[in-house]
Amino acid sequence: MSEKSVTATKCRACASGNLSRVLSLGETPLANSLIPSNRLQEPENRYPLELVFCDDCSLVQITETVSPEELFGEYVYFSSFADTTLKNAEELVKRLVSSRKLGKDHLAMEIASNDGYLLQHYLKEGVPVLGIEPARNIAAVASERGITTCCDFFGKELAQKLKAEGKLADVIHGNNVLAHVADLNGVAAGIGIVLKPSGVASIEVPYVKDMVDHVEFDTIYHEHLCYFSLTALDKLFRQHGLYITDVEHLTIHGGSLRIFISKTDEPSAAVTSMLESEAAIGMKSVGYYADFGARVSNLRRELRELLEKLKGEGKRVVAYGASAKGSTLLNFFEIGKESMDYVVDRSTVKQGRYT
């Protein structure tokens, strides 16, 4: 632990102290902390990366909380560089505008709105928008695009301020933000405060079942504090008078859940079925995750052997995408310049930096 991080001993969702270890990835640098050439000789902050399971509410989470200012004050991930993210956002917006008959008298809000990649589609449909984005450099880009943006972290306090200003939402989006939040209950409570009684919240999170089934350990990094099952999400939101009314299983980001939340407890058949399925396969017990660490170690050995073989044959190895997932893989597998010649990325913000 350092002055820039805190080690949790209780569950982020239910405050239980019954946490069981699933996997340790050692100490790693921040995944999106790409270094400019003039800082290559400076020491880089590294933090423990330990994955645990809450025996009481089934939430999978890491124990280390790096300060949000350290993680997100300046940020190099711009959503608009990801084609699948853009397509996913546009399709969802068009669907909600049509099904909920949204127009100029409604408000669409997004938590962690990034560069306006999603809210821009509401503007095109004539629906007023409000983005909440803590990263200064990214909020500035969104504002330049005409997206009304509040540069702040979303939680109960900000939600109360917005409500006092009369800013209540007909639809709230939270795409891949809940996993980044230390104060899960603050965000859930905040959604309840600014969501109109007839409103809907659409939340997307990485699905922990896909992470385990496909050994996607590289989705584990310090920005991703939590890894969700529908069971854990259901328990979290119920604490705040919010209910999951529908769920969709998406392929984006290695496998995600999109849940729809309202203030009425009317679950769809899809919600009931997935909750029953998770219970049936044992996802409410740490035993489900028991062999995850061993499978990650096997993958590490296989990839290192492959890279050693390729380099031994005189081949050059390059990577496409200076992603956060790539950082976890390179660090935990201890892959460096001896195995990898260089990395390519289409983001101009990342070009010229070092991973």
Give the residue, 59 or 138, on which the prediction is more confident.
Answer: 59
In the prediction, which pLDDT does 83 show?
67
Look-up: residue for tokens 């990898």?
340
Q: Which residues pair with 262 in a beta bridge?
A: 243
Q: What pLDDT is attached to residue 61?
A: 96
**DSSP per residue, 125-143:** TT--EEEE---HHHHHHHH
Quickly tell me which residue has 């660090």 as its tokens: 331
Q: In this structure, are residues 251 and 214 in contact, taking their beta carbons and an 8 Å threshold?
A: no
Number of H helices, E strands in the chain: 11, 15
Question: CA–CA separation, 57 vs 54, rounded Å?
Answer: 6
The C-alpha atoms of residue 267 and residue 257 are separated, in whole angstroms, by: 15
Asked if pLDDT for residue 256 goes beyond 90, the answer is yes
User: What pLDDT does 271 receive?
Assistant: 98
Six token digits for residue 35: 């270094």
pLDDT above 90 coverage of the chain, percent = 64
pLDDT for 293: 85
The pLDDT tens digits of the residues spanning 146-173 come to 999 999 999 999 999 999 999 999 999 9
Q: Which long-range contacts (CB under 8 A, 24 or more apart) does 323-327 make?
A: 324/31, 324/32, 324/77, 324/221, 324/223, 325/31, 325/218, 325/219, 325/221, 326/218, 326/355, 327/28, 327/29, 327/31, 327/32, 327/221, 327/355
Q: Is 19 exposed, middle or buried (0-12, 13-18, 19+ CB in 10 A)?
A: buried
3-state DSSP assignment of residue 332: helix
Residue 76: predicted pLDDT: 52
Residue 310: what pLDDT?
94
CA-to-CA distance for 33 and 77, rounded, in angstroms? Answer: 10
* Better-scored residue on pLDDT, 70 or 343: 343
Tokens 């589609």 locate to 121
User: Given this model, what pLDDT does residue 2 score?
Assistant: 47
Mean pLDDT of 256-281: 98
For residues 153 and 69, what is the distance between their CA atoms, to the nearest angstrom?
Answer: 10
pLDDT exceeds cutoff 90 at 257: yes
61, 12 Cβ separation under 8 angstroms: yes
Cα 253 to Cα 13, 85, 176, 220, 341: the distances in Å are 23, 9, 9, 12, 26
Arithmetic mean of pLDDT, 320-334? 81
Confidence (pLDDT) at 86:
83
Tokens (6 digits) for 39: 């800082």
Rounded to the nearest integer, the mean pLDDT of the chain is 90
Give residue 74's pLDDT. 54
pLDDT of 1 reads: 40
User: Cβ of 194: how many Cβ atoms within 10 Å?
Assistant: 24
Give the residue among 96, 78, 52, 86 at the shortest CA–CA distance from 144.
78
Dump pLDDT digits (tens) for 85-119: 788 899 999 999 999 999 999 999 999 999 999 99
pLDDT of 80 higher than 60: no
pTM: 0.85
Model confidence pLDDT, tens digit, residues 15-46: 999 999 999 988 888 877 777 888 888 888 88
- Beginning with the edge strand found earlier in the chain, give each strand of the sheet holding 46-54 in spatial order: 19-29, 46-54, 60-62, 226-227
Report the percentage of the chain scoring pLDDT > 70: 95
Nearest to 326 by CA among 74, 77, 75: 77
Q: What is the per-residue pLDDT for 77?
A: 54
The answer to whether residue 73 scores a pLDDT higher than 60 is no
